Structure formats: structure tokens, C-alpha cells
Structure 1
Amino acid sequence: MKALSVIELAQLYGMNRQSIYKRINKGDLSKNSDGKIDLSEAIRVFGEPSQNNKHVTTLQSTSVQKETEVDMLKQQIDILKKQLQLAHEREIFQREQLATKDNQIEAIQRLLEAPKANMTTFTDQESVQPSMTKTDPELDTAEAKHDGLTTPEQTENEHSPVPTHIEPQPKKRGLFGRLAKAVFDN
């Protein structure tokens, strides 16, 4: 319900403020915790306001409505500000994610485009491995015989020596195979 100050109540009923304070002190009229008096409490004590004071009540009710509307609009503005801030933060986050992905894509493209030093291609048969030099006359004759489709034999490989004879590994047997071999060998 609408609450009125002592001055507003005095104007509404056309009374003196002192008479309203006397009623409050006697206990006939009570105030709220904010120091205002409910209109229903005033109507209980003083009755309905007179017709000539209706204009004051209308003005007060319109001002209360305007204050309520202003409060609602302020709350809506606060909500919209929060939503705008969240949208701005999401946009910044998305931009950072996009920049990170762009950097990753560029790094991968650089890795894909980077030429490998020891790698030969079919179009580049002139590449020579660093371990092969043309100072050895045997290599000169091997290169002359090379047809370009197969790799020439290297007489000396410094990185991984290849054994001349490789023994085949024995066939792996399961439990029953090993038992059968042990029985038949004895």
C-alpha cells in the first residue's frame, strides 16, 4: 500500500501537522520503520479524504508510478549492461581462439613447405648425399653406370653398417610345438 509522510498526510486531509503528531503520540496512528504512514492506516483513523483533496492524491499516485517506472528502467539498463559486457568478453575470447588457430595453421604450413636437406625427389636426381664425394675413382665409375632410377650401391656407409651375412631367425613355436620338438629330438 502507499505510504505518505506527515506533511503529505496533512495536505491530503487538510490538517495541521501538529494534530497528526498528537495522534501518533497517543497511539491512534502508527508509523512504518521508514517514518511514513500507510494510507490505509490514515483512512482507518481519519476516514476517507475529502473530495477537494483528490487532486493531491492523484498527483502523488502519478509520481509514485513514475518512480516505479524509473526504477524498472534502471534495472533493465543494468541487465542490458551486463549482457553487453558478457557479449564483449565472448567476442574477445573468440578472437583469441581464432588467432591461436591461425598461428597453428601458419606453423603447420611452414613445416609442410620447409625443404628437407637430405631428401631427393624424382625431379632432383642431381642431389648428392654428404657422405658421397667424387674424390674416389671407384665412385666415378659407379656414377657413370648409374641409370638414375635406382640408388647406386655405397661401398662405405658411415651411419649404419650392413652385415654381409644375416642368419635367419628360428621359427617361434608355441607350448605344444616346443614339447613336440623336445619329444622328437630325444
Structure 2
Amino acid sequence: MKKLSVSELAKLYGYSRQAIYAHINKGNLSKGSDGLIDFSEALRVFGEPQIKASTVNQSQSINSQNLTEVDMLKRQVDMLEKQLNQSLLRENQSIERESFYQEQIEAMQRLLDVPKPNMTTFTDQKSNRDIATDPRLESETNYDGLTTSEQTKDKRIPVPEHVEPEPPKRGFLSRFFLPNG
């Protein structure tokens, strides 16, 4: 059986140590040779130890804390499941969107690859050479004898610029006292 010290027995039954020693001195309670009291002896003298209300309240508060923690963890698990489902849904939508766009790109590429019968492509067009940018064209022009060599060199027609005449400069006081003119 379990053996208890005087202070352990006092705590268990809620007595002071002096009260436990008083029971030992009266002979109601016996100590062993090792100085410890057998628990069966304490049961005979004091009866079953009373469970304090504080220990019951502590165990109930611990249980309620555990329950609130469990509830909180359950809510967190539910929230994480919802977030996971939403992200999976978004991922599926993005995959569908990507495949749709890929189909659109392929359709447009097929349209670009098929040449239209009534349209000319870039390679079919004849190159129109520009006289201003291609110097070879000047030498290819026919000399008709009516124009001079100076006229053939510069085929641009000069256009005079329209420049407004500047108004005459006015002095400091005339700016304020004379009418604008």
C-alpha cells in the first residue's frame, strides 16, 4: 500500500501538520519505522479524503478549455477546407480559360495560314520604286530632250513659306499708353 509523509497527509485531508502529529501522539494514528504513515491507516482514522471543490473546478475548467480549443481547431479545419475547395475551383477555371484561349489562338492561326483567293500576298506584289529614295531610278529615266539636266536633277517644286512680318518693337511706356497696333 502507499505510504505518505505527514505533510502529504495534511494536504490530502486538508488538516494542518500539527493536527496530524496530535493524532499520532494520542495513538489514533501510527507511523512506520521509516517515519511514513500507511494510507490504509489514514483511511481508518480520517476516512475517505474529500475532493476539494477547487480540484473539481480546475478539472472542469481544463475540460472546458480543451473543448473550446477543439471547437476552435474544428472551425479552422472547416475554414481551411473551404479555402482549399475555392483554390481548386479557381485552378479548374483557369485551366478551362487557358484551354479556351489556346483554341482561339489555334483558330486564328489557321485563319492566318489560309490565303484568300482574291487577295494578293506580299510576295505577289510588284515593287513600286520610289524616285526619292532609290537613286537607280534617276539613271533609268528616258531623256526626252525637252528638259535640261538641271530640271531632271531636282524634280521637287519649291513652295514658298508664308511668314508673318514681325510687328515693330515698342518702348516701355508705349506698351501701356498707346493703342495696340
TM-score greater than 0.5 by the shorter chain: no
TM-score, normalising length from structure 2?
A: 0.37
TM-score, normalising length from structure 1?
A: 0.36
